[in-house]
Every structure is written in C-alpha cells, then in structure tokens.
Structure 1
Amino acid sequence: MKALVLNCTLKKSPEVSNTEALAQVVIDEMERLGVETNLIRVADHNIITGIKSDLGDGDAWPAILKELLASEILIIATPTWVGTLSSEALKVLQRINGLYPARDEQGRPVTFNKVAGFVVTGEEDGARHVVSEIAGALMDVGFTIAPQSYTYWNNGPGPGDSYLKSDYRKEWSIQTGRAAAANVVAVARALQNTPMPGNAE
C-alpha cells in the first residue's frame, strides 16, 4: 500500500517547515503499519494554476498526479494563513478537480477507493475549518474520508511560537496524528478488500 503526502507549506526547501514536522508523525505511523510513503513539498515544484490535469510544458502537476493515482492514501498537510488553507493547498485541490471526468476500467471515478487524511498547523485557530474545506472538496471528487482522519496544532488565540518552537499541547497533536494514520490505513485496507462498486451495466 502506498501513501502520498503533499506538504502545502509556502516555504521552499530547505527552509524548515512546521507543517512537515507534524506530517512526519503521520508518516512515521503509516510506515510502521507497513505503508510506503512519498512526501512532496508542493512549493518546490512548478504547479501551474488551473483545473485541468495537464497544462502543458513546464507543468509539474502531471508527475505528482501520477504518484497520487498510484497511491491508496492521500494526506494533505497545510498551514493556516488568514484563517484558511494555504494557497498551495488550494492550488492542489483545484488541480485534483481536473479528475472529475476520469474513470477507471469499471466506470468508477479514478479517486474511488482512495482515502484522504489531513494535517494542519498554525499559530492561531482555524484548523477545523481548513479540514472541513479540504475534506469536502476531496469527498466531492470521489475520495473516501475516514473517521478522525486529521490532526492539527495551533498555539491558541493570538500570535505566538510556531509548532517546532513550542511545547504547547503538542502531545495531543502527536497522539491524534498517530490515530489518524491508523484510521486512514484501516479504511484503505477495507476498501482493498471490498472496493467501491463500478457502474452497473
């Protein structure tokens, strides 16, 4: 089983990413459960803004999409900015939207039998709102959303230290991240055993 983790931080490598630090908790647990994981930092790639799966020369999305389609699990990790998901995360959702017409050999959306999970970080609140936005968008395209498939961390109201510079309630975020990893893996394995049905002929 494979999982693709898209870190939608606004920071390019090698700048330290707080979002990636919390996402690593989920990655470590998935790998402990036998899942092969691939982490991609979206800002390091030239993903052209749009809603189609391939926007031509210079577009890095088709290669990332190939990894997504080869995976049973998608984890979207994003910071919160101005109370919502990052611009990189929104760009990813818009490009995933291009999969609407794509079908597999059984007539199902190509995103059927794929499970999504979420990681959100920020110095202030808004994480649950971000999870709801991303979950709704992915569910609409055909992803399955597992129960308790997210973790988040914030430093409470008002500006403060970032995830890597604070110990504020991090243990909750870590334990919740491990639980989210276990849940998305469990649902993905269930779908392998009992896939979503194709269209009846």
Structure 2
Amino acid sequence: MPEGWIDLGDTESLRDPPLREIRIGRTRIALSYHDGSFGAVSGVCNHVGGPLGQGRIDGAGYIVCPWHYWKFHCQTGVGEPGYEADRVPRYATREVNGRLYLNPEPETKRAKAKHDPHPLERPVEHSEGPLRVLGISTTAMDPKEPRYSTSEALLQVGLDHARAQGAETRLLKLSELSFRACEGFYSKSAQACTWPCSITQLDPADQMDQVYEGLVHWADVLLLATPIRWGGASALYYKMVERLNCVQNAITIRNKVLIQDKVAAFIITGGQDNVQAVAGQLLGFFAELGFLFPPFPYVAHSRGWSAEDMERNVAVVAGSEELREGTRELVSRSLGLAGRLIETHMCGSKIARGGRKAHRLEPEAVE
C-alpha cells in the first residue's frame, strides 16, 4: 500500500455492523459496508456535529445522522436528493489481501449549503410599548366540549386586570395546541438539544412554536395556571416544560440566556392538596430558565385531600371574590417588577456558571 494508508483490519470482520465509527487520531470517520462495497466519509454531521458513524444506513445508501436525521451518502458524502450542496468529506478505501486500508487524507472537502435560520433564532430584543402579559393555561379538556376550569377562570381574571392596567395580553391554552412530546434529543447528547427545539425545526406543524415565541420573544410577564393532579401540576404542564429544556440547555451548551428581564407568576388550584410542592416545582423550573418572581409569586386554592366533591370545589372558586382579588394583586405586583427590570436591564445574556453549572460543557474538538 502507498505510504500513509492505515490498516483498518480484516475485511470480513468489518462488514458487520454495516455502519460504525472509527477514529484516526482526532478524526472521526463513518465506515460503512453497503451493497457489497466499503465506504468512508467524515463522521461529523454538517448540522450540529452529530456522530454519523453512530447512525444507520437507509435503503438508498444514505447515512442517517442519529441526532437530527440529516442524510449523507455512505460512498460519496453527498447530501440526500434536494440537499446535494451539503457534503461531508469522503475518504478512499482499498481491499488488499483480505485487509481494508484507508487513506487518512480526504478526497473531497466539506461543503455546507446556506440554510435560512428558523424565525425563532432571531435576536431576543425588547420591543417598546406597553408591557406584555402571556397567559398559559395547562388544564386539559376537550375544546369541543369545554368545561369550567378553576385555574383557567382565575387566569382570565388576571389577564382582564392586566389589560385594565394598560398591558397587552395573549392567552395560550395548551389543550388547543397540537404539539409533540419531548423525544429525548438531550438524552442522545446535550449538543443535540438545540435552540430552537429540534422537533420545532423538523416539524413545521408542531405548535409548540407558539409557546417559544410567546415566552422568549413576546412576553414581559408569564402568568401560568395549572390544576393540581395527584399532587402535581397537570400532565399538559409537564409535556410543555419537557419541551422547554432547549431554552435552559442553551445556557448549558452556549452560555446563552434566552429569558432576560422577564417575570413569572402562577395560579394553582385543585380539589387535592399539595400546593407547596406544585409551587416549588414551578418556581424551581422557571428560575432555571431565567425568570424572576414578584413577592408572593402565586395564588393558590385547595380544599384538601379528602375534598372529593368537585362540584363544591368549583362553586367555592367561582364564588370567591377573595381569590379574584388575590389574582389581580398578583398581576399588579408582576407588572411592577417587570417595569423595573426593563428599566434597569438587570439580567444579562450570559451568566456566571460556578455553583449553578459549575462544570463547563465543551464539545470535543473532532473532525
């Protein structure tokens, strides 16, 4: 063999599995065996650096990246039809006397086509004008057969009060949005959990983009309402917050704080007890995103563990002027804090990591 070529091993042993990752020094290579031929291309995806050699080969001979499913041909490194301008480097291989050799110098260069950024990727900027309050209802119901929701009713009281104070408002009901559950991109790698969310980028029909747009780009105040379900927040709440991991993860992998100078407050109601635990989860999670809280940051109501007469629970909340007044005061405190934060610009786009995320996460430098 010519000088510099590397002996990868016995060809018989390299045919199965049909795709594997090998390393030559710091260079990752996706080595494949498909339709009776070996192929070798860069093991680093053009998108966000996913490990191509840990993916799979489809029926047409394209390597499918395990992170976000970008495709490159296992022999040529060229992108799938329609995306041929995206290419990863190709490496020459030769079979000699039952051994497979590879030239570590690539035959082709990497080429990255220009892709329009997702609208959510635009810079986060505060717009002049009235304060903006985003209400999110996490209660589950059939939109075609609506019912009275105690948490949603108080949320509407809060939004009405915000408008009376001169604020702009929006209401998002998670029960009316069609969005996929988190699919665990973070479990593949922290680098695979991107902003905007990987699902949002892959699926234009996914309506979680309305939540991202509202929280990151539009709102100054978040007013979130949840019922208590078996001692916790609602299932829709957890479905939403799992998809918000990409907002927090932008801090972990990029030290990029997307939530700046924003306030969050909460409405928690239910026939069962455990208000403090639900509030603690909400406060802990939204603090990790970067939200700040007004004094006494939630309004809550529960009649206790044994109060199974839900009709009575609904009647108590519906007839309680005290709860409505408490909600209005919560909104006033939130608007006051939001105004001061915007004036002083207290929150920056980066944050000191020690004590919070003490170990800086650095991607391995590989080609």
TM-score by length of 1: 0.88
1:6 aligns with 2:136: yes
Matching of residue 67 in structure 1 with residue 214 in structure 2:
yes
Query: Is the 8 Å Cα contact of residues 125 and 154 (structure 1) preserved in structure 2?
Result: yes
Structure 1 residues 167 and 21: CA distance shift in structure 2, 3 A: closer
Higher Rg: 2
Q: Please tell me whether residue 172 in structure 1 is matched to residue 328 in structure 2.
A: no
Residues 118, 149 of structure 1: 8 Å contact kept = yes
In 2: Cα distance, 1:168 partner to 1:67 partner: 28
- State the Cα distance separating 1:33 from its structure 2 match: 1.4
Q: 1:7-46, aligned counterparts within 5 Å?
A: 7-14=137-144, 15-16=146-147, 17-46=149-178
Give deviations 1:130-161, integer Å, cap 9, x for gaps. Answer: 11111110001111112112112223442123
- Find the partner of 1:161 among 310, 313, 320: 310
User: Is this contact kept in 2: 1:9–1:42, CA < 8 A?
Assistant: yes
Residue of structure 1 equivalent to 2:87: none
Deviation at 1:169?
7.8
TM-score (norm 2): 0.50
Deviation string 1:54-78 (CA, Å, 9 cap, x unpaired) is 4032311113211222111111111
Is 1:86 paired with 2:234? yes
Segment drifting more, 73-82 vs 108-117: 108-117
Equivalent pairs counted in the alignment come to 197
> What fraction of aligned residue pairs are identical, expressed as a percent?
24
CA distance in 2, matches of 1:77, 1:63: 17
**Which deviates the most, 47-56 or 146-155?**
47-56
CA RMSD of aligned residues (A): 2.2
Distance 1:168 1:26 in 2: 14
The answer for unaligned runs of 5 or more in structure 2 is: 1-130, 185-192, 352-367
Separation in structure 2 between the aligned mates of residue 147 and residue 197 of structure 1, nearest angstrom: 18
Shift of 1:101: 4.3
1:140 aligns with 2:288: yes
- Which letter maps to 1:29? H
